[in-house]
């Protein structure tokens, strides 16, 4: 995954999380990830697997398609 795409996905996850009123710590807890790992995802520093993306989407009550919509 290119850095540009990682950055866009991370920003999209952050924007959706904020719109749902979920803190980064809460999302990390809901996905069984650390807050620092979640921070790196949102900063575009992690190359995500589909499994990880699905876990985040499910925790936010959205679909994978919602994450990629508008990209």
Secondary structure of the chain as H, E, C letters: CCHHHHHHHHHHHHHHHHHCCCCHHHHHHHCCCCHHHHHHHHCCCCCCCHHHHHHHHHHHCCCHHHHHCCC
- Summarised one tens digit per residue, pLDDT across range 43-59 is 999 999 999 999 999 99
Of 43, 40, 63, 45, the C-alpha closest to 53 is 63
- pTM value? 0.92
- Summarised one tens digit per residue, pLDDT across range 4-57 is 999 999 999 999 999 999 999 999 999 999 999 999 999 999 999 999 999 999
| pLDDT higher than 90, residue 2 | no
In whole angstroms, give the CA distance from residue 24 to residue 52.
15
CATH architecture designation of domain 3-68: Orthogonal Bundle (1.10)
């Amino acid at each position: 995954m290119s850095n540009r795409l990682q950055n866009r996905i991370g920003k999209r996850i952050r924007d959706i999380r904020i719109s749902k009123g979920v803190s980064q710590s809460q999302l990390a807890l809901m996905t069984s990830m650390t807050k620092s790992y979640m921070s790196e995802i949102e900063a575009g520093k992690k190359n995500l697997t589909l499994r990880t993306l699905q876990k985040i989407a499910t925790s936010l009550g959205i679909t994978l398609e919602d994450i990629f919509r508008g990209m």
